[in-house]
Amino acid sequence: MTNTADKGDRLASAVSRIRGLLGEANCLVEPAAVEPYVVDFRRLYHGSTPLVALPSTTAEVSAVLAVCNELGVGVVPHGGNTSYCGGATPHAAGDEIVVGLRRLNRIRELDPANHSLVAEAGCVLADVQRAAESVERLFPLALGSEGSCQIGGNLSTNAGGLAAVKYGVARDLVLGLEVVLADGRVLDELKSLRKDNTGYDLRHLFLGAEGTLGIITAASLKLLPRPRTIETLFAAVADPEAALELLGRLRVASGDDVTTFELLPRSAVELVCEHVNPTADPLGGTHAWYVLCEVSSARDDPSLRAAIELELERALEAGLVIDAVFATSGPQREALWRLRESIPEAQRRAGASLKHDVSVPVASLPAFVARASAAALAVVPDARLVTYGHAGDGNLHFNLSVARDGDDALFLARGSDVEAAVLDIVREFRGSISAEHGIGQLKRAQLKSYKGPVALSVMHSIKQALDPNGIMNPGKVLADR
Ligand code: MLT
Ligand code: ZN
């Protein structure tokens, strides 16, 4: 058992050795410089740290981790700070060192013939997308935060986003990884192979581990041909059931080229119009539900639009679709996307919110929405339901906003009751309590009751094997601290 003084000495020693390793210019210690690294994106957590280390090479990350492991000092990996679950925020005790990856931001390799690129962890997602575009390729991970989030964080949290219905989640887009382990050893699995059947697939341990097993420093990512035809439409639909029926029809009509299928309730459109852009509503009239759908083809395909239009006409006749609009220009397409991507910001401006990032089997989505809405409103009858998200993946942001002129504190005080009601229903549908945002520190308690005992015990064994001193992102995902 070590005493507090010893702990303080070890922390001070780690700070001084890392300052020596990286140089003063790459070590932030002043409170104002450190501040952006200790507050999470949603402002749920305010941590503290004596040092933000900014390594620029894998060797430097390795040296930093070796020091921290030797001295038993916690390390918090930090990317673009867009986590919804406090995954990159240090503990308030101030005894952990933050390792910011932003200087590790090179595209090491761009290989259009292999349909792959190798990016370092600190590359901003939009820069990875642009690198792919520069060689007529597509890196299909698409997130509202793509202008600031970093690929290392995307992979560590196994981000989902807006195109997963066609391309899968972050984990599905990785060919190989380079990871610095807790003790500083470098795990070089940075291969760009489509086939490599050589025992345990180690990359998947680190994808979604949220920095609790090591730090991803680089990744080989899958690319696809750049789409040459993109059709974007916004449709009012009767209800979530009609939305899913439409999805099935559009998948067939497009030759299974639906790349985005997002469900939005009227409340989300109204919040965006009220708080972000008064002219955001693309359709006249008031409709209960909408979908934003994008269909993309790698071919120049003038017939795609006609095929979708024909299917939409049939859906209108069948009463599934009530009204619809196609984007006929780049700016119109951007406006439709902006409407969808502005929902989190609109909710933020509308006052307190409660968020549940859940998934159920796609076919169960309508029944889930009905049950969970009733259960949530039974707890907070005057709240505004803002249930939106990636319907094509069965992933909804089952969110609520405080009533207009409602009391934020009173509303938030009911948060755990609402969550219990919603998550009980998620479990009934054999869904997930965290579909794409991860666990971080926010959902650690829920994870304990959600995962079965055998799964939890295997997870603890892996953590123990790779990080026996418990230095990697302490208090996130599994471990209490
Ligand atoms: C989204 O899809 O907009 C994000 O995952 C954020 C959210 O949950 O609000
Ligand atoms: Zn989302």
pLDDT tens for 183-208 read 999 999 999 999 999 999 999 999 99
For residues 459 and 481, what is the distance between their CA atoms, to the nearest angstrom?
Answer: 17
For residues 353 and 263, what is the distance between their CA atoms, to the nearest angstrom?
Answer: 19
For residues 128 and 132, what is the distance between their CA atoms, to the nearest angstrom?
Answer: 6
Report the separation in Å between the CA atom of 311 and the middle of ligand 1, taken as the mean of its atom positions. Answer: 29
φ and ψ at 70, to 5 degrees? Answer: -60, -40
DSSP element (H, E) containing 111 = strand 107-111
- pLDDT tens profile 289-331: 999 999 999 999 999 999 999 999 999 999 999 999 999 999 9
| Sequence letter at residue 272 | V
pLDDT of residue 2: 52
Ligand 1, residue 355: give the atom nearest the CA: 8
pLDDT of residue 402: 97
**What ligand is nearest to the CA atom of residue 345?**
1
CA angle centred on 163, ends 158 and 168, rounded to 5°: 50
Pairing of β 258-265 and β 289-297: antiparallel
14 token code pair: 């780690």
Residue located nearest, by CA, to atom 2 of ligand 1: 389
Q: Is 356 in the pocket of ligand 1 (CB under 6 A)?
A: no
Q: Is 42 in the pocket of ligand 1 (CB under 6 A)?
A: no
**What ligand is nearest to the CA atom of residue 337?**
1
Ligand 1, residue 162: give the atom nearest the CA: 2
Q: Is 345 in the pocket of ligand 1 (CB under 6 A)?
A: no
Report the separation in Å between the CA atom of 249 and the middle of ligand 1, taken as the mean of its atom positions. Answer: 26
Dump the DSSP string for 166-212.
HH--GGGGEEEEEEEETTS-EEEE----S---SSS-THHHHTTSTTS
Average pLDDT over residues 261-267: 98
Q: Is the pLDDT of residue 444 over 60?
A: yes
Q: Is 397 in the pocket of ligand 1 (CB under 6 A)?
A: yes
pTM: 0.95
Q: Is the pLDDT of residue 1 over 50?
A: no
Q: Is the pLDDT of residue 264 over 50?
A: yes
| Nearest C-alpha neighbor of 54 from the set 18, 106, 13, 89 | 18
Q: Is 463 in the pocket of ligand 1 (CB under 6 A)?
A: no
Mean pLDDT of the chain, nearest integer:
97
pLDDT of residue 480: 76
307 token code pair: 């095929």
**What ligand is nearest to the CA atom of residue 84?**
1
Report the separation in Å between the CA atom of 389 and the middle of ligand 1, taken as the mean of its atom positions. Answer: 7
Report the separation in Å between the CA atom of 359 and the middle of ligand 1, taken as the mean of its atom positions. Answer: 13
Report the separation in Å between the CA atom of 477 and the middle of ligand 2, taken as the mean of its atom positions. Answer: 19
pLDDT of residue 5: 74
Spatial neighbors of 137 by CB under 8 A, at least 6 apart, are 112, 115, 117, 223, 224, 225, 226
Average pLDDT over residues 470-479: 94
Residue located nearest, by CA, to atom 7 of ligand 1: 344
Residue located nearest, by CA, to atom 9 of ligand 1: 344
pLDDT of residue 3: 67
